[in-house]
Structure 1
Amino acid sequence: MRHGTTNGARQESGVGPEAARRRSFAVISHPDAGKSTLTEALALHAHAITEAGHINGKSGRRHTVSDWMEMEQARGISITSASLQFDYRDTVINLLDTPGHADFSEDTYRVLSAVDAAVMLIDAAKGLEAQTMKLFAVCKHRGIPLITVINKWDRPGLDALALMDEITERTGLTPTPLDWPVGVAGDFRGVLDRRTGNYVQFTPSAGGAHVAPQETFEPSAAAEREGVLWTTAVEESELLAASGADYDQESFLAGVSTPVLFASAVRNFGVHALLDVLVDLAPSPGPRPSVSGEPRAVDSPFSAFVFKMQAGMDTAHRDRLAFIRVCSGLFERGMVVTSARTGRPFATKYAQQAFGRERTVIDTAYPGDVVGLVNGSDLRVGDTLYFDKAVEYPPLPTFAPEHFAVVRAKDAGKYKQFRRGVAQLEAEGVVQVLRSDLRGDQAPVLAAVGPMQFEVAEHRMAMEFNSPVRLERLEYTVAMRTTKDWVAALNAERGVEVLHREDGELLALFPNSWRIASVRRNHPGAVLEPPVAA
């Protein structure tokens, strides 16, 4: 075990400056807005990869580094979060890619608990869509500063000023564009840099697989090259300035305004500008409040929390990775830390850094970094780990499920694999698993926010655990919390069933909200609030 004196001395001398070099952020968007493509383009521009792929291509095309699961590559969507770390300038970028599909919003919520800023990606042709607004609300609730990127400007889309109005009206944020497009959507020539007044012109690369060349021109040269298009961009920029839409760092960090950039991720236009904004403007890791409300400074002894469990990344070893976000102090591989939930020690001998599916051993990490701990069978999503000075961070709440299905093994002879697989999916948070004495362990109920979670569970049970399953959908659509005093009475009600979750929560399942109202009339106090994330 590493002793506190050595660890403490190194923390005092180096943790603060190292934390200041970190930028940890996630990308949020509606499905198909180009989120995974942007993730890959950022890694490309930082020289972390040499060639970008396409996610929803025809046979023979490459896939993005972050979309490594077979189902992701087959469908061209992200259904699990991914962690990428790379250097840009003198800064360490921790980029957490999130599931693009709304059915996996609970996984996205967990990722947002592990970042200090977020990039809100908007499709230029569609504006703010439902899933984007849902995730924006989470960011607003958690006080996460937002950088807005208008993507796909190389395709026909909405008017740029109209998009600024929509951001204001629907989010309440003041958009403060850092650049402004020269040319309408579908004719993306470059941008007016509103901070310098210069013109940044883009040149497409072959298929968008490599960094797109760009050239900077002074205003007079830009006017000569682009004529009326440049004049229009300048006039619209001046209109923005007159309306108070110039960037202000204080209001950005306070969640009052959002800097805006225009880009085409698939063509690698505007990606360098986003990297520069992350380095220059996005916040570095700061003190994180514990369950008691007392902030733990970044140079305090090591602490972290588990925000994701992921198995199946290494098919040769079938191990499980617990992703932790370092909150304070210096992480050193091999140090023995304590789990706040169990009070038990945990040895960090096998610590890795993930780059999509690829992994490398990591020896040290600092606040803001993400570390993968291998085979943390005793760890759960939301667990706090600490060294020396005890701390516990607030737990990660679960979403209220809306879809329910009984799961059974197709082959009774593979019951052992069945139980192990269900327990694994439960620990990872792929689905919630509800049980009762009546149903028994052979037929637990899977509960999900969206039905695609069932498809992932079914696929993994067959492919990873060699236990194909049969799902029987239930008619329930609402889960409400209750207490043990009401279990018998609620189970006696028609169309109502009470099951328990691993965390000890008792959930009463109902077919609809009308049935809840009826039961509440018969049993005042029996039905509490839904188990919704806060």
Structure 2
Amino acid sequence: MGFIEEIKRRRTFGIVSHPDAGKTTLTEKLLLFGGAIRVAGAVKSNKIKKGATSDFMEIERQRGISVATSVMGFEYRNYKINILDTPGHQDFQEDTFRTLTAVDSVIIVIDAAKGVEPQTEKLMNVCRMRKTPVIVFVNKLDRPAQDSFELLDEIEKQLKISTRPLSWPINSGPDFKGVYNIYNRSLRLFDANVQEVEEGIAFDDVNNPDLEKYIGEDADTLREELELVEGVYPEFDVNEYLKGDLAPVFFGSALYNFGVQELLDSFVEIAPFPRPSYTEEREIKPDETTFSGFVFKIHANIDPNHRSRIAFVKICSGKFERNKVYKHIRSGKTVRISSPTAFMASQKEVIDEAYPGDIIGVPDNGNFIIGDTLTEGEEVHFKGLPSFSPELFRFIENADPMKSKQLAKGVDQLMEEGVAQLFTSNFNGRKIIGTVGQLQFEVIQYRLEHEYGAKCRFENLSMHKACWIECDDKKVLDEFKKRKHQKMATDKRGRDVFMADSGFILQMAQDEFKDIKFHFTSEF
């Protein structure tokens, strides 16, 4: 198969949702179709005991939530599919935002009873900003759900995107009978006792009296609703979807593996293959022959038996080859990657080559940070991978003086992963951890103890915002740092950070020092 054909058969997408909308369950069912797993690992009532395939950190199994992005690849109908399953919990949204820079399209999972929730809106804003094509999967139809038309109205209003149903549910909850696939005109009936996927019943004409045989008195309601769908919603236009202006909608129940195949079959046909990426210097097209890629995530200890760190690299152009020498742009050094891996959640296999759209794992001894670029020599810098200004702050203290080395190493590696941000106070040299959510502190404490054998404790720190500062006039910058010495810190890369106690103090500083630029993301 040629280089261009390999690119065109790639589908790299992220699955995002509000917590508990069924995102990880949907991921597992997609993996079942790809033959990547033989039995789903997550059964709702048994999740903590069993753990989902895509949740590979111990704390995720215990809490029954995803706190890191998992990458999984599999083959389906001659397509190479790469899924990035993201954390739904808002305390880990930074990981999700960064993951969205590495995908070409997104599936948003919505709970049919709860509708659009706040976290879903935030994630949609990121997709809109990047013009990422979006498919909506309305999940949990096996439970009582909102009226489908009202739900679609809510999706359009809250997510600010036009919708077009490509399948339609027949009732919900105890009366749920199945879905009619509008896209390929077939009927699929729901049976809670059957989780094997059966072929849909071809049904070109819903006015055919045979429909009553399958769904009884609900046939008339389905006909009316489908007529309404055709009258109210625009024809499905693939180009509108690819531009990010139209979201096709599918209905089903991931837990019962129902409606998932319709979603996957339509997805591989309409979803985009790898799209151009943007660097500060120029646009990079996937079909360029020279290799380029960027690090969007770093993860330590995927395998608890080996203290290994892996950098997740998204390939943007050219063909990646094992053992070839590439340039690490930030350091200016060359690197030879002898054991690149492809992922199936926590299982990894060494690969010899990879193509645009693929995500590879590169063993990392501390050489990489998030946002690093690898090329065959061209000096380019990928953009769109910021760290956000944290909202919660704690001093971190060593709880076991015998383990100070382990603590320092653990904190260093977790910060490189982008789990949280580390600042060092210029005033007293104390280490400050900044996060966007309370749960991150628990994850840090847990992982330090269980992965590095180090114990820490946190001390409260009342702080409003951390902002990165810069100024062309060194004299002005020095004066600011002198005046605000007690509130100054440096981040991991040695950049100046102003720690403002309150919004009022921040505003005062901005008004007084007009020449200083205050940045609320680390990318500037």
Query: Which stretch shifts more, 54-63 or 418-427?
Result: 54-63
For residues 428-482 of structure 1, give each alpha carbon's deviation from its aligned partner in whole angstroms, at most 9, with x where no partner exists: 1111111134333xx3111111111111111111111221011112111322232
Question: Conserved in 1, the CA contact under 8 Å of 2:7 and 2:286?
Answer: no
Q: What TM-score comes out, normalization by structure 1 length? A: 0.91
Alignment match, 1:10: none
RMSD (Å), alpha carbons: 2.2
The CA deviation at 1:345 is 0.9
The answer for the alignment partner of 2:312 in structure 1 is 323
- In the TM superposition, what whole-angstrom CA distance separates every residue of 1:45-100 from its partner, at most 9, and x where no partner exists? 22211111226534884221001111111111100000000111010100000011
| Partner residue in 2 for 1:8 | none
Aligned partners of 1:211, 1:462: CA distance in 2, in Å? Answer: 42
Instruction: Determine if the alignment matches structure 1 residue 165 to structure 2 residue 153.
Output: yes
**Matching residue's letter, 2:91:** D
C-alpha distance in structure 2 between counterparts of 1:479 and 1:59, whole Å: 37
Q: Could you tell me the percent identity over the aligned residues?
A: 36
Give 2:244's aligned residue: 255
Corresponding pairs, count: 516
Judge conservation of contact 2:281–2:380 (CA < 8 Å) in 1. no
**Deviation of the 1:343 alpha carbon:** 1.2
Which one is further off, 385-394 or 416-425?
385-394
Question: Partner residue of 2:67?
Answer: 79
**2:499 corresponds to:** 509
- 8 A contact 1:291–1:394 mirrored in 2: yes
Distance 1:286 1:401, change over 3 A: same
Matched, 1:498 2:483: no
Matches for 1:342-361 after TM superposition, within 5 Å? 342-361=331-350
The equivalent residue for 2:51 is: 63
Q: Which runs of 4+ in 1 moved over 6 A?
A: none
**2:70 aligned partner, one-letter code:** A
Number of the residue aligned with 1:451: 438
Deviation digits for residues 114-156 of structure 1, max 9, x if unmatched?
1000001110011110100000000110111000000011101
Is 1:475 the equivalent of 2:462? Answer: yes
Give the letter aligned to residue 444 of structure 2. Answer: A
Give 2:370's match in structure 1, choosing from 374, 378, 381: 381
- C-alpha distance in 2, partners of 1:476/1:301? 46
Greater shift, 265-274 or 197-206, is seen at 197-206
**In the alignment, residue 469 of structure 2 is paired with which amino acid?**
T
Per the normalisation by structure 2, the TM-score is: 0.93
**Per-residue CA shift, 1:391-431, capped at 9, x if unaligned?**
33225111111011111211223222222111111111111
Question: Alpha-carbon deviation of 1:388?
Answer: 4.8
- Kindly tell me: are residues 395 and 123 of structure 1, through their superposed partners in 2, closer, same or farther at Cα, counting changes over 3 Å? closer
Cα separation, 2, equivalents of 1:389 and 1:476: 42
- Deviation, 1:504, is 4.1
Counterpart residue identity of residue 459, structure 1: Y
Which blocks of at least 5 consecutive residues in structure 2 are unaligned? none
1:255 and 1:23, CA in 2 relative to 1: closer, same or farther beyond 3 A?
A: same
Q: How does 1:455-466 map to 2 (within 5 A)?
A: 455-466=442-453
- CA–CA distance in 2 between the matches of 1:330 and 1:397? 27
Deviations 1:15-38 (A, max 9, x none): 211010000000110001011111
1:299 corresponding residue in structure 2: 288
User: Deviation per CA, 1:167-211, whole angstroms, max 9, x where unpaired?
Assistant: 1112221110101111235532211121343322233356xxx53
**Contact 2:424 2:431 (8 Å CA) reproduced:** yes
Return closer, same or farther for 1:404/1:491 CA change in 2, 3 Å cut-off. farther
Moved more, 119-128 or 478-487: 478-487
Amino acid at match of 1:302: F
Q: Where does the alignment leave 5 or more consecutive residues of structure 1 unmatched?
A: 1-12
Q: 2 CA distance for matches of 1:137 and 1:384?
A: 26
